[in-house]
Structure 1
Amino acid sequence: MDNAVLRALMGGVQGSSQNVGKRIKGPNSEAGAGAKSKDARTAVPQPEFATKGTRTAREKAGSKGASDESLAHRERSNALRNQLKIKVENASRLTDLPDPLESFVDLCDAPYNLNVAVPNALAAIHALQPTPVQRQVIPCMLLDKQVVAVAPTGSGKTFAFLVPLVVHVMRLRHTLKEKSKLKRLELPKAVILAPTIELAQQICRVCDLFLEQLVIEREALARGVKCRLLVTRAHAAGLHSNEGKGVDILIATPLRLSSELVKGFIRLEYVQHVVLDEADKMFEVGQFYEQVQGILQACGTGLKRGKGCQKHLFSATLSQTLVPNVLDTKAESHVKIVVGAASYGGTAAVQEVAERVEQEFVFVGNGGIAGDRAKVLAVRNLLRENRIMAPALVFVQTQDRAQWVHKALSEDISGCAAMHAGLSHSHRQRVVDDFRSGVVWALVTTDLLCRGMDFRGVNTVINFDFPTSAVTYVHRIGRAGRGIAAGETSEQSRAFTMFSQEDQPLLKAVAVVAAASGANVPAWMLELASTDRRQLRKLERRPVVTKVSRERAKLAKRAERKGRLARGISKKR
């Protein structure tokens, strides 16, 4: 199938370029073909510097027309960016900023020159038209530019970095085979880091699907490209047996990859691209900061000078100050792309979420154990009013809370399950598969699943525990309404956030973000006093006092008393 047919099918019809590059022949004069005038024969040759800066009228007119054409082309590209709400932060400093894609078929033209199998493979997996973030990120990464992308949840960031990564790896494998560098051929060439096991598995599944479809579409370079997952001990054992070889694209969590890197079971010196998905989570203090820094330092150490490892950051909520602090290169060397708003941060990410999710705040009283009972009653009332549409995600703060809420809601909701990091890997995988297949209709989970997970068809999100920050709020409600096109709304997609008197210090930060996105927020919430940053950090890390935690404290005290009595009796004896 040629490019013209593909453009007609996928809506990317453009003007024909058959006459581009053809030489225009002028009329031949028989009298002047072989004869030269006397003035021409006796003309004195001029030195090069005498005619170097002079141009004829035709040349001046041609250069003016070319400049006008390039200016018009630039204006069309800027108009398309404005229409799609794509903002490139440092566009004025980039003289070679690529145009946004009008369709995936544009990848077959210069300067990308990809095989027609790429848009065919994307169409086969129902990616017919690129999303706004894909339109600008894919061209930039294909032209070897480092990208920092901020786009709303559910905007297609995974394919935005997977497509150029796969293309780079395919071309690099072909080059290494031609140069007979077989040892380097077996080592990782690209690394994708994700904060959770579930997100890493999702990325790996999408990558395998894309590679499989490329092979079906007869893309010869895709044969032999291997995408490996490294999130469990079983995956690590497979790398040990093969000494970390036979991997092209490595998808891992920071803790597992850092552990294998320290043990020397994997080599990253020839990695040319590193993608940090949910980058802001990666660099939170106390999370993965040290491990990620060690991984970044180990990547690309064997490459030639001038061909260092490129680092790409993706997130829905990314602080602008994080970029220069994280990356060892200058911020100006990166293409910073923001989709859906004019700046970084939670407000930018939630604006398009509000278009597809109806947000509502529910007051449940003073908090504590009575507040928890009131939250359960509130969920039952919402069920009675048929306002909760399955499938639904219920977010809580801790693992104990997940078990307790699951037990409380199981009486009213059939097909309810709990999901948190305290469960085994096989159990977690089984619960996620059951939720995707529809066996589980209501999933009670911690913030483990609030980032990056693409659950198509989630209609309701319930923040049973108030989110600890505006960023967490954005990622939680972003699980609902995924797959709905920008500008479209769904009456079934809702997000309920329950709050008590204890949550008042955190309330304004979340309410401001929700109001800025267009949600209906009571005016008194926006008039609350702002909380100091230090106090906010303490509140974010506060333990949730519940019936479960109090019962555990009582049991611990009883055990301590029994131990004291036992020690006292033994001393008397």
Structure 2
Amino acid sequence: MSDILRLLARSTSVSKATAPPKPKQSATPTPVAEVKLTTAARRREQKRRAAANAANGPSESPITLVTAPPQADEQQQTARKGKQEKKNSKKRKRDEVETVESIASTSNSPNILDPVEVRSLLKQHKLKYTILATLGSRKELVKAALENEQEDTEAGKTASKKVKTKKSKRVKEGKEKEKEKKEVGNDDDKAAAPKPSASTKLDQIFPTPIQKFEELRTNYNISKRLYENVMVQKFIAPTEVQMGSLPLLLDGTRHLVHGLEECDVDLMTIAPTGSGKTLAYAIPAIDHLIRTKHEEGDNYERGIRAIVLSPTRELADQIVNEFRKLLLGTGIKVVGMKKTLIPKDRRRTKDTSNEDTDEEDGDEDNESSGDDSEDDDNEIETTNGTVAQSKKGIAVKSEIMVATPLLLLHAIQLCPDLFPVSKVSRIILDEADVLLDDLFLSQTTSIISHLTSPFLSFSFWSATMPSNSEALATKLISSHPSVLSSNKTRKLVRLIAGIKDSSLPTIRQTITYTASERGKLTALRQLFSSSLKTPCLIFLQTIPRAQALHAEIMYDLPTPNRIAVLHSNLSETARSKVMDSFRAGEIWVLITTDLLSRGVDFRGVSLVINYDIPTSVASYIHRVGRTGRAGREGGMAITYYTEEDVKYVRGIVGVMEKSGGAEDLQKWMLNSLPKTSKEDKKELKKKGVKERRAGAGAADNKKSRISTKSGYDRKIEMRRKAAVDVSKKKMIRRGEEESGEESGSEWEGFA
């Protein structure tokens, strides 16, 4: 028995040196409780085997019983557990860092879509991007040209290699195809020839559009306060022009667009009226100013940093209101340029201002005749001919200035110390085709020439943009000093949302032949009595005609004082009063000229009547665009034309057909109408229809007279008016004579 115990004691001492290797750990660690159970069971099994061997006696071969002390086994398990926990913790930290980095990368960049998906999305929303011109300094342009030439030559070489391989295969086919070989050789020469330069082509780009307003915060990281102001407006989804323009205008996202890497971008946007262009250029401008303010920090100085130009005061006031909604709580301010901002001793008189201006409908000429109403906090008070300047020596502490061209130009020229524009980094031209027309071109170019910031960017917005306006915009940008001195190339990108030079398809459009002016008035009165939809806008060619129509129909509605007239000869207070009454619903029918045809947003306008045909196709598109705005359906446009207008109607009918909103428009009408010559188009645009001009002759006045009265009734009315005038003059003379006699009776001379 003692021998067996000795043998067991030897085997346990040897087992420490001859212990088997540790088993490999599995990928998933086993729980501690299970490890203890397995080791205890193993010990019991080993004891059972040892007792059995002792009972049976010693075997021929030495028995080695492998056992481990319980303390050493527990230490190994705790060590394994600690290593596994360290590995798991490191893995968790690595996963957390990767997830944070992925979230940050996705939050600062737009969603990356497949190019095929992007193109289908752009095609679905009718968005088309075209690079009109590549601009910049000569060095940068030469570099870009050399790069394009290299790309073209490489493409030509690859094409020639492919053709040569085809040629070698055809040579092996035999002598019967020698003629085909020669033809292929000629084709090779054509393929190897250099391609035309890229400057002669209009390259297209395909940026990823915005599909939801939430992407402005998640993908483009705009200001949180600005995003909240946008969402408070309760916009359901971005319109086509907003989807397409925001990715190009927002800072930090242009490098993601293929073809615009390391380039400054100027944008020209053409979109239908009422499609949300104001919001499309307001969001990037405000976000850029907020970023600039945060970057400069304590060195930030208030002053004009962005300018929005509009052709009329009504449109400028509307733009100011839209900006104010988006600027709440951002620390950025907006101001509308008014005459009261210029000190009285520096204002330009009428005589000097008329020499430099040539405005549409006399709108800008009336700036000096308006009432000197009080302005916002930016108004300057003058005492004893001295200007009470602010602490920083400037008149305007707002970052965004909205103005008409003439008034802003006067402020810059007369008061350069009060209106510094050297830090203006963005200029926005709303209704750019008008601002680049002959009426405003000199004023617009003069304003742009005063902007000297090296970081100046341009954007042009309108529903219509002719080719000459595109050429003028390109020339303005290419000749600006900031572009010529820049180290980066600039690209002017044109965005077309929808169909170019067309109205919205949701507007129902009709055109009616009335033969004469009397027929127009009769048709209008029939409309009043049958199917008038209010609020309603009526457009006429000239101010005298608008006044005459107002005098003729002012009592045709059952409720009095519901018809008003608005034109540029009215004072500023009178114009604003009429606008407020029309928006409040107190006025149902508003008679006006082209003064309100552009940009002004009257929500709920149901009917637009072109009593006189517009002077151009663009004017028709803008007039019709006063209804059906922001996707609202139910808008209607009616156009009356007479015998004198037949030669000008073809372009209007073409727009109606292109937009798809025309009612009862037959193809024979478009084919039978005469084509309008270029000379007639120019004359119509400058002066309007000859018979309706302000200085027309006596015969033309008879044709264009707005009245349904007969000649006999008009003669009687004129005689009555003449008799009233004669009686008034007689009364005045009698009063003068009586006053003279009384004075003579009192004065009898010296005694």
1:383 aligns with 2:528: yes
Q: Could you tell me whether the CA contact under 8 Å between 1:105 and 1:116 is conserved in 2?
A: no
Describe the shift of the 1:235–1:505 C-alpha distance in structure 2 as closer, same or farther (beyond 3 A). farther
Give the number of aligned pairs: 453
Q: Could you tell me whether the CA contact under 8 Å between 2:276 and 2:630 is conserved in 1?
A: no
Which residue in the other structure is 1:406 paired with? 550
Q: Could you tell me whether the CA contact under 8 Å between 2:265 and 2:493 is conserved in 1?
A: yes
Which residue in the other structure is 1:289 paired with? 441
Which residue in the other structure is 1:418 paired with? 565
Which residue in the other structure is 2:414 paired with? 263
1:109 aligns with 2:218: yes
Question: For 1:223-264, what per-residue CA distance to the aligned partner results, in whole angstroms no more than 9, with x for missing partners?
Answer: 2x110101x322434367543341200000001011111113
SS in 1 for 2:494: strand
Which residue in the other structure is 1:154 paired with? 274
Which residue in the other structure is 1:35 paired with? none
- 1:20: Cα distance to partner? 7.0
Which of 471, 490, 500 aligns to 2:642? It is 500
Q: Could you tell me whether the CA contact under 8 Å between 2:617 and 2:652 is conserved in 1?
A: yes
**Which residue identity lines up with residue 497 of structure 2 in the other structure?**
V
* Aligned residue runs from structure 1 range 319-398, under 5 A: 319-327=466-474, 328-329=476-477, 333-341=491-499, 344=500, 346=501, 349-350=502-503, 353=504, 355-365=505-515, 371-386=516-531, 388-398=532-542
**Which residue identity lines up with residue 496 of structure 1 in the other structure?**
I
**Which residue identity lines up with residue 445 of structure 1 in the other structure?**
T
Which residue in the other structure is 2:620 paired with? 473
Question: For 1:60-81, what per-residue CA distance to the aligned partner results, in whole angstroms no more than 9, with x for missing partners?
Answer: xxxxxxxxx96x5222222221
Output the CA distance in 1 between the equivalents of 2:339 and 2:566.
20
* Aligned residue runs from structure 1 range 190-209, under 5 A: 190-209=306-325
Q: Could you tell me whether the CA contact under 8 Å between 2:130 and 2:493 is conserved in 1?
A: yes
**Which residue identity lines up with residue 403 of structure 2 in the other structure?**
A
Output the CA distance in 1 between the equivalents of 2:462 and 2:413.
27
SS in 2 for 1:474: helix
Output the CA distance in 1 between the equivalents of 2:98 and 2:127.
31
Output the CA distance in 1 between the equivalents of 2:683 and 2:694.
22
Which residue in the other structure is 1:12 paired with? none
Describe the shift of the 1:530–1:80 C-alpha distance in structure 2 as closer, same or farther (beyond 3 A). same
Output the CA distance in 2 between the equivalents of 1:248 and 1:278.
22
- 1:177: Cα distance to partner? 2.8
Which of 326, 336, 342 aligns to 1:236? It is 342
Describe the shift of the 1:113–1:547 C-alpha distance in structure 2 as closer, same or farther (beyond 3 A). closer
Describe the shift of the 1:429–1:93 C-alpha distance in structure 2 as closer, same or farther (beyond 3 A). same
Output the CA distance in 2 between the equivalents of 1:426 and 1:173.
36
Describe the shift of the 1:176–1:510 C-alpha distance in structure 2 as closer, same or farther (beyond 3 A). same
Output the CA distance in 1 between the equivalents of 2:467 and 2:267.
13
Which residue in the other structure is 1:527 paired with? 672
Question: What's the TM-score once normalised by structure 1's chain length?
Answer: 0.74
* Aligned residue runs from structure 1 range 273-284, under 5 A: 273-284=426-437
Output the CA distance in 2 between the equivalents of 1:186 and 1:384.
57
Which of 234, 248, 252 aligns to 1:126? It is 234
Output the CA distance in 1 between the equivalents of 2:494 and 2:585.
38
Question: For 1:250-282, what per-residue CA distance to the aligned partner results, in whole angstroms no more than 9, with x for missing partners?
Answer: 000001011111113422111100000000011
Which residue in the other structure is 1:55 paired with? none
* Aligned residue runs from structure 1 range 91-102, under 5 A: 93=203, 98-102=207-211
99-108 or 434-443: bigger deviation? 99-108
Output the CA distance in 1 between the equivalents of 2:692 and 2:618.
24
Question: For 1:256-312, what per-residue CA distance to the aligned partner results, in whole angstroms no more than 9, with x for missing partners?
Answer: 011111113422111100000000011111x1110000111111x1x3xxx431110
SS in 2 for 1:428: helix
- 1:175: Cα distance to partner? 2.4
**Which residue identity lines up with residue 385 of structure 1 in the other structure?**
S
Which residue in the other structure is 2:118 paired with? 77
Which residue in the other structure is 1:38 paired with? none
Q: Could you tell me whether the CA contact under 8 Å between 2:127 and 2:496 is conserved in 1?
A: yes
**Which residue identity lines up with residue 154 of structure 1 in the other structure?**
G
1:451 aligns with 2:601: no
Q: Could you tell me whether the CA contact under 8 Å between 1:200 and 1:229 is conserved in 2?
A: yes
SS in 1 for 2:122: helix
232-241 or 424-433: bigger deviation? 232-241
**Which residue identity lines up with residue 359 of structure 1 in the other structure?**
Q
Describe the shift of the 1:546–1:146 C-alpha distance in structure 2 as closer, same or farther (beyond 3 A). closer
Which residue in the other structure is 2:334 paired with? 227
Output the CA distance in 2 between the equivalents of 1:153 and 1:235.
31
Question: For 1:448-502, what per-residue CA distance to the aligned partner results, in whole angstroms no more than 9, with x for missing partners?
Answer: 00000111110000001111111111000111122335xxx42xx2111000011
**Which residue identity lines up with residue 99 of structure 1 in the other structure?**
T
SS in 2 for 1:314: strand
Which of 298, 308, 322 aligns to 2:455? It is 308
Structure 2: 5+ residue stretches without partners: 1-96, 104-110, 133-201, 252-263, 344-378, 381-386, 479-488, 703-717, 723-751
Q: Could you tell me whether the CA contact under 8 Å between 1:393 and 1:445 is conserved in 2?
A: yes
Describe the shift of the 1:542–1:324 C-alpha distance in structure 2 as closer, same or farther (beyond 3 A). closer
SS in 1 for 2:631: coil
Output the CA distance in 1 between the equivalents of 2:615 and 2:204.
38
Describe the shift of the 1:508–1:332 C-alpha distance in structure 2 as closer, same or farther (beyond 3 A). farther
Structure 1: 5+ residue stretches without partners: 1-16, 24-68, 216-221, 366-370, 559-573
**Which residue identity lines up with residue 495 of structure 2 in the other structure?**
I
Output the CA distance in 1 between the equivalents of 2:656 and 2:546.
25
Output the CA distance in 2 between the equivalents of 1:496 and 1:94.
38
Q: Could you tell me whether the CA contact under 8 Å between 2:266 and 2:490 is conserved in 1?
A: no
Q: Percent identity?
A: 28
Q: Could you tell me whether the CA contact under 8 Å between 2:130 and 2:204 is conserved in 1?
A: no
Describe the shift of the 1:293–1:241 C-alpha distance in structure 2 as closer, same or farther (beyond 3 A). farther
Output the CA distance in 1 between the equivalents of 2:272 and 2:311.
18
Q: Could you tell me whether the CA contact under 8 Å between 1:165 and 1:273 is conserved in 2?
A: yes
Output the CA distance in 2 between the equivalents of 1:539 and 1:200.
27
RMSD of aligned alpha carbons: 2.8
Runs of 4 or more consecutive aligned structure 1 residues displaced over 4 Å after TM superposition: 91-95, 239-242, 543-555
Question: For 1:182-223, what per-residue CA distance to the aligned partner results, in whole angstroms no more than 9, with x for missing partners?
Answer: xxx2221100000000000000011011112xx2xxxxxx12
- 1:99: Cα distance to partner? 1.8
SS in 2 for 1:403: helix
Describe the shift of the 1:89–1:241 C-alpha distance in structure 2 as closer, same or farther (beyond 3 A). farther
Output the CA distance in 1 between the equivalents of 2:423 and 2:612.
44
Output the CA distance in 1 between the equivalents of 2:580 and 2:98.
50
Output the CA distance in 1 between the equivalents of 2:420 and 2:569.
31
Which residue in the other structure is 2:193 paired with? none
Question: For 1:73-101, what per-residue CA distance to the aligned partner results, in whole angstroms no more than 9, with x for missing partners?
Answer: 22222222111111112398577x64211
Output the CA distance in 2 between the equivalents of 1:377 and 1:456.
28
Which of 277, 286, 289 aligns to 1:166? It is 286
Which residue in the other structure is 1:567 paired with? none
Q: Could you tell me whether the CA contact under 8 Å between 1:90 and 1:332 is conserved in 2?
A: no
Which residue in the other structure is 2:363 paired with? none
